[in-house]
A = this chain, B = another copy of it.
Amino acid sequence: MFHSAAKSLSVASTSLYSRSFLLRVRHYCDKAPLKLRISQAFSTADLGKSVKIQGWVRSVRTQKAHIFLHVNDGSSLQSLQVVAGAELNDQLLTFGSAVEVTGILKKSPHQKQAVELEAQRIHVIGECDPVDFPFKIKERHNLEYLRQFPHLRCRTNAFSSLLRIRSEATAAFHSFFKDNGFVQIHTPVITSNDCEGAGELFQVEPSSVGDAHREFFFSVPAFLTVSGQLHLEVMSGAFSRVYTFGPTFRAENSQSRRHLAEFYMVEAELGFLRSLNDLTKVMEDMFKSTTEQVLARCVEDVDLFHRHVTPGHRASVDAMLKSSFPVMSYSEAVEILGRSTENFTFPVDWGCDLKTEHEKHLVKHCGNVPVFVTDYPYRLKPFYARANQDPPQNTAAAVDLLVPGVGELCGGSLREERLDVLTAHLEDAGLEDTYDWYLDLRRFGSVPHGGFGLGFERFLQCVLGVDNIKDVIPFPRYSHSCLL
């Protein structure tokens, strides 16, 4: 449907072309030129044809008799070289301007590209003043500079590559789950639950009601979700395998390179699952399958990051894919950290929460590959984690996946499916009424089950080696910043 021929034909400029060339042009001008996206133009299938392309000028070079443009339409990282006679030059042909070019697709004499477009007509659709435009021709602006222009940074090579990769990575996660029989569930953004029982929540109310004595819109306080897990548990009780992929929120006053107020999580829940071993297998398969798909489908875009943004990172990614992810218990992790000669800011004792510095040390200890840490102290984990009932330690069947450069990428656990154990824990916390519906899931056909969540932005950071989480999401939101 997107190949519909344009209705108007332009007249070819004649002065510069040979007779045989003109005959070919006339032949093709009998038909409307073929409208192509630039990624399609690189296939040599249309060589010799009259085509029309549309895009934005990424470079302009003028010689005596010719001008050379690079035109990009976002369909790929590569821009198409356009060659035109000098008489087609126009002072409006500047970096950033939008153009429509009609001409003949020819074999390029240059090694870098297989094809180029011999222009017959160049029409500037939208001007771009090079003085006002914040990006300059031939300058490589760093990611921090680009962050100031959330509405324009997608027009740069680096950020357009990032967003194409993000789109493919999203598709890769959907494929993985679909291929393995998971049902996708749109878990709600607005919820009356607080899944984690911790962390700062955003509250939601209509903006127009100003007074403090108002009723709640939903009759109860309502928050932005911090996790779709509890809603997925509902669904795993019907479909066995379910997942969700959507925005989640934390109202943390953080400016860190690893946190956002709005970020994306991939969460999965599996019924009839009895061991952490079965869970880590799914997590490892998912990580490898999606990473491989991204590397295979976004060769040029990923290469831009691995060459120019984070040189050397590709070897690290290849090492992750080749490795069988090691598994260690929390107790083993504490032992390893205790034996280390590294000077940690936070001391390590059995029972303490692991900090980023500890996580990074464990990853390094394992040879800079992803590592699973299992069976954390029960009291560190939320009420839904399954108790191992292994006194005197009292651990929970919970697992984190730590990855190089990022630290915690995934967190998961078996869930407490035993009605009596769960009821006792909720009663201890005074939450048995709030979560009466959750207890229903254990009253009626309860099954052993477990699941995990993956931070999607951290996944992109890990695969691409991008240091700051604000550079892997289209419009980052964090404390004091909500541009656009």
**A residues at B contact (CB < 8 Å):** 1-2, 4, 37, 39, 54-57, 73-75, 96-98, 100, 125-129, 132-133, 150-152, 154-155, 160, 163-164, 166-167, 170-171, 174, 178, 180-181, 183-193, 200-208, 212, 217-224, 230-231, 234-235, 237-240, 246-247, 249, 251, 253, 261-262, 264, 271-272, 278, 281-282, 285, 417, 437-438, 440-448, 473-475, 477, 479-484
A222 and chain B: residue at smallest CB distance: B482
Chain B residues within 8 Å of A208, by CB: 200-201, 251
Question: In the complex, how many angstroms separate the beta carbon of A79 from the nearest chain B beta carbon?
Answer: 13
Task: A207-B251, A246-B246 given; name 14 further pairs at CB < 8 Å.
Answer: A54-B272, A74-B240, A128-B445, A151-B437, A151-B440, A154-B237, A160-B239, A167-B185, A174-B174, A189-B224, A191-B482, A192-B483, A206-B251, A219-B482
Question: In the complex, how many angstroms separate the beta carbon of A3 from the nearest chain B beta carbon?
Answer: 11
Q: Is the CB of A223 within 8 A of B246?
A: no
Question: In the complex, how many angstroms separate the beta carbon of A99 from the nearest chain B beta carbon?
Answer: 9
Copies in the complex: 2
Q: Is the CB of A224 within 8 A of B204?
A: yes
Can you list 5 residue pairs at the A/B interface with Cβ under 8 Å? A55-B240, A100-B272, A164-B239, A218-B482, A219-B480
CA distance A132 to B205 in the complex (A): 36
Question: In the complex, how many angstroms separate the beta carbon of A421 from the nearest chain B beta carbon?
Answer: 14
Q: Is the CB of A206 within 8 A of B201?
A: yes
Kindly identify which residue among B54, B189, B191, B448 contacts A240, using a CB–CB cutoff of 8 Å: B54
Chain B residues within 8 Å of A200, by CB: 206-208
Max chain B C-beta neighbours (<10 A), residue from A1, A74, A152, A186 = A186
Q: Is the CB of A239 within 8 A of B75?
A: yes
Chain B residues within 8 Å of A188, by CB: 262, 474-475, 477, 484
Question: In the complex, how many angstroms separate the beta carbon of A470 from the nearest chain B beta carbon?
Answer: 13
CA distance A152 to B233 in the complex (A): 11
Chain B residues within 8 Å of A442, by CB: 126
9 residue pairs, one from A and one from B, having the closest CB atoms: A74-B239, A126-B446, A218-B482, A206-B251, A203-B207, A154-B238, A98-B445, A167-B184, A54-B272
Q: Is the CB of A202 within 8 A of B205?
A: yes
Kindly identify which residue among B183, B217, B285, B474 contacts A235, using a CB–CB cutoff of 8 Å: B474
Chain B residues within 8 Å of A447, by CB: 54, 98, 125-126
Max chain B C-beta neighbours (<10 A), residue from A218, A219, A230, A441 = A218
Q: Is the CB of A261 within 8 A of B190?
A: yes
A183 and chain B: residue at smallest CB distance: B167
Q: Is the CB of B234 within 8 A of A151?
A: yes
Chain B residues within 8 Å of A55, by CB: 240
CA distance A261 to B128 in the complex (A): 41
